[in-house]
Structure 1
Amino acid sequence: MSEKELTLTSSRAGELTVIRVDGVLDATTREQFAGYLAEAGSDLVLDLSGVTFMDSRALGLIVHHWQTSLTTGSRFALIGVRYTTSKVMWITGLATRLPLYDTLEEAAAALG
Structure 2
Amino acid sequence: MPLTLSSSATDGITVVRVDGVLDATTREQFADFLASAGADLILDLSGVTFMDSRALGLIVHTWQTSLASDNRFALIGVDYARSKVMWITGLADRLPLYDTLDDALQALG
Letter in 2 for 1:7: T
Give the equivalent residue in structure 2 for 1:103: 100
Shift of 1:14: 1.1
Distance in structure 2 (CA, Å) of the matches to 1:17 and 1:86 = 22
Distance in structure 1 (CA, Å) of the matches to 2:9 and 2:66 = 18
**What number of residue pairs does the alignment pair up?**
109
Any idea what the Cα deviations from partners look like across 1:27-78, whole Å, max 9, x if unmatched? Answer: 0100000000001121000000000000000000000010011110000000
Any idea what the Cα deviations from partners look like across 1:3-28, whole Å, max 9, x if unmatched? Answer: 2x000000111111000000000001
Distance in structure 2 (CA, Å) of the matches to 1:42 and 1:62 = 14
Please report the TM-score for the alignment, with normalisation by the length of structure 2.
0.99
Which ranges in structure 2 are unaligned for 5 or more consecutive residues?
A: none
RMSD: 0.4
> What is the aligned-residue identity percentage?
75
2:26 to 25, 29, 42: 29
Which ranges in structure 1 are unaligned for 5 or more consecutive residues?
A: none
Give the equivalent residue in structure 1 for 2:57: 60
